[in-house]
Structure 1
Amino acid sequence: MKIISLFSGAGGLDLGLIQAGNEVIWANDIDKDAVATYRENIGDHIVCDDIKNINIYDLPEADVVVGGFPCQGFSLANRKRTLEDERNQLYKFFYSTIKIKQPKFFIAENVRGILSLGKGEVIKQIVSDFEEAGYITTVNLVNMANYGVPQTRQRVLIIGQRKDYGEEMLFQFPQPTFSKDGKDLPRWISIKDAIDHFPDPDTENNVINHIYSAYKVEYRNYTGHRKTDPNKPSPTILARGNGKGGVCAIPHYNGKRRLSIRESASVQTFPEKFHFIGSMNSCYRQIGNAVPVKFAKLLGEELIRLEHNGV
Structure 2
Amino acid sequence: MAQLIRQPQLLCGQGWADYGLVDSGNGRKLERYGDFLFIRPEPQALWQPREADWDAPHLAPHGEFVPGADEDGGGRWNYTRPVPRDGWPLSWPNGGANGGESVRFTAQCTPFRHLGFFPDMAPVWGWMGEQLQGMQAAQTLNLFGYTGVGSLALSRFGSVTHVDASKKSVAQARENAALSGMSDRPIRWIIDDAAKFTAREVRRGKRYDGIIMDPPKFGRGPDGEVWRLEEHLPGLIHDARRLLDGQSRFLFLTVYAVRMSSLAIAGLLEEAFADLPGVIEHGDLAVQDDVGGRLLPTAIFARWRQGEA
The TM-score with structure 2 as length reference comes to 0.39
Q: Which has the higher helix share?
A: 1
The TM-score with structure 1 as length reference comes to 0.39
